[in-house]
Structure formats: C-alpha cells, structure tokens
Amino acid sequence: MKGWKLIDAMTLKESELTEPEETNTSSKVRITKALVTLSDVLRFRGDIDAEKIALGSSGIGIVSETQANLFGLEKGKHVYIEPVRECGECYNCKNGDYEKCQNFLVAGEDYDGFLCDFMTVPNDKLFVLPASVSDFEALFIDHIALAISVIDKLNVQKGDYVTILGANNFGNILAQLLIYYQAVPIVLTQDEEQYKIARDSGIYYVLGQNDNWQKEVASITSGRMTDKVVFIYDSDIPIVKAFSLAAFNAAVAITGVTSGSISISFTQAIKKQLDIHCINNGFGNAAAGINLIANKAINLSHLKLDSASYESVPEKLKNLSEEYKKEGRIYETVVDLI
C-alpha cells in the first residue's frame, strides 16, 4: 500500500503506508478517486498542525478483498468510504454512544487519507453506491452528511429562514438541502464567482459583496432577522457578521469542511444571548447523504472544481498552496488514482 505522504511542510513523498491488520470485519479497497479540500492544503502548507500521513479528505473505490459478504459487500463493489471514525477508546465509545465520541478520527488528519492506492477499511465504514450515484457525486457525500448534521443541530423546520455566511461548495450544498427540506436559505458571499454559482444552482436569496447585508436580511425577514445562522469558517467573511445578522437568542452554527482556526470575539454573541453550536463532521449520515443524491435532492453540476492525476499530486498541492496565498481560497480538486 503506497500513497503521497506528507513528510514536511510543502513536501510530499510517495511512500509505503502502514497498513492496518485485516480482520473479518474489514475489507481492502482499491481507491479510484479522492477529493482534496482546503483542509489538505492548509496541512500541506504547514498552516495547521499535521501528522506525517497521506492526505486526501474524501474517497471512493472498488472492493478488492473482503473477508465476509456483509449486506452485499463483496469483491468488485463500488463503495463510498466514510472518512470519520469513532476513536473506540473514550468513555462514550466504550459505552456504545459512538455519535458522542470525544475524539473522532478523520481521514487525512488523524489517519492516512485517500491519496493512496489501497486502504483497509472497517466494513461498517463502507457504503455500496447505487448505479444512479456518479463518482463525482459520491465524493461530496461527506459534505452532504455535514450539512445534515448542521440542519439537525439547528432543528430547522419548514419555512425557517436560515442565513448562511459563505457560498463555497459546502455552503452551496447546505443551501440546496435547506430548500429540499422547505426552509429558506439566505446565502451571503463576497466572492463574485461563488455568487453566480449559487444563483445558477437555484438558490433564490443570494447576497453579494455590493449588497447591504443587514438591510437586505431585515427586508427578507420583515425585520425579524434570522433565528438560525450558519457561519462557514473556511469562507472569507468575519464571524462578527454572523452575530450581527442573528436575531436575539438565535442559534448560530460554526462549521465547515476545513478544520482551520479562527479568532472570535463573543461580545455581540453574549449581548444577544446567542446559542452557539460547533459542528465539524457528519458522522452517521453517510447513508442519508447517498439517498439524497439518488433522489436528486441536490444538483452538484454547478460546483466549481479542479482535477489532477495521481502522479501530479505534489505539483498540484504546490499550485493550490500558491492559489490560496494569492486568493485566500482554492477550488476543491478531484484526483483520479487509476
């Protein structure tokens, strides 16, 4: 098993990876496609602490070896690999409450990610993909799973207005999912291209950098502002905007695909008595995400992406690093591994 391992800041090396011991509850998967996100780029740059492991935030593949035929899981099956795993060691895990794991393990952060040829994966982290779900769509199941977690945590109901600060791929997916659940997203962005993509995706309320956000949100909500606000921390919007746009006693979710760091002043949040939730994964929502794609609840065709081959990964990460340095953002990149 080999892959592109991070050995130092700005340096990847194709290396043999430590392979977990195969058991009758795990299968070996040939990785076919991986998704590189901003989280991978920040680790590559050395902007956030990183283990010396293979990067790659999401992945799909084909089962090459399996010890047991579990719910149709057999050799040759096309599968999505859930990237978030419970630690199995904390108090909650030992008591079977895995959704409240105190130390979730994430691919490309805590264990080898998907920029590799093979992975040995616990069977309960493998999901057989129906023919109606394309490879491209499957790479965004983790984004959808996270969006479901946000919606559940905020207890979004039919007709609720939800302000979303950030219109990157995750913000776009979250807004579309809210529309599917008959809520009303108001998407804010300072990026003109993201603004256009959001409008092309069928999101009605999209406010750009030239709009007066405070005035427009007040107008849309008849002066009430919104009781539910989502701040995406890999956007280029200051979090103080989320607090200023929230109604008194509103619920604010701080979330995003990237696990970076931000500075926060809680002055407005305390004054407004906001209920703040931090959500960083979609653990347990993979099957629901697959069903939503299969039912055409979300249109991913408008998303802006880049592409790369396995051989070009080191050069691609360097280019993405330069792009982030200049633009403050990157395009998530699909890597073909075969």
Cα dihedral 111, 117, 120, 121 sign: positive
User: What per-residue confidence (pLDDT) applies to 263?
Assistant: 80
- Asked if 1 and 117 touch (Cβ cutoff 8 Å), the reply is yes
Verify that 115 and 155 share a domain, yes or no.
Answer: no
19 vs 33: CA distance, rounded Å: 19
Q: Which residues contact 286 (CB under 8 A, 6 or more apart)?
A: 80, 82, 127, 141, 142, 145
Residue 295 placed within a domain: no
Ranges of residues in the chain with a pLDDT under 70 are: 68-71, 259-260
Verify that 205 and 250 share a domain, yes or no.
Answer: yes
Q: How many domains does the chain have?
A: 2
Start-to-end C-alpha separation, the chain: 14
Q: Which residues contact 96 (CB under 8 A, 6 or more apart)?
A: none
Verify that 55 and 154 share a domain, yes or no.
Answer: no
270: left (phi over 0), alpha (psi -120 to 50) or beta: alpha
Report the CATH number at residue 238: 3.40.50.720
User: What per-residue confidence (pLDDT) applies to 70?
Assistant: 66
**Domain that includes residue 226, residue range:** 143-279
Residue 289 placed within a domain: no
Verify that 265 and 327 share a domain, yes or no.
Answer: no
Residue 44 placed within a domain: yes
User: What per-residue confidence (pLDDT) applies to 44?
Assistant: 94
User: What per-residue confidence (pLDDT) applies to 51?
Assistant: 84
- The pLDDT tens digits of the residues spanning 251-305 come to 999 998 876 677 888 999 999 999 999 999 999 999 999 999 999 999 999 999 9
Other beta carbons less than 10 A from residue 13's beta carbon: 12
Of residues 154, 171, 175, the one with CA closest to residue 252: 154
Verify that 170 and 226 share a domain, yes or no.
Answer: yes
Report the CATH number at residue 37: 3.90.180.10
Verify that 267 and 163 share a domain, yes or no.
Answer: yes
Verify that 209 and 274 share a domain, yes or no.
Answer: yes
Residue 286 placed within a domain: no
- The pLDDT tens digits of the residues spanning 68-88 come to 666 678 899 999 999 999 999
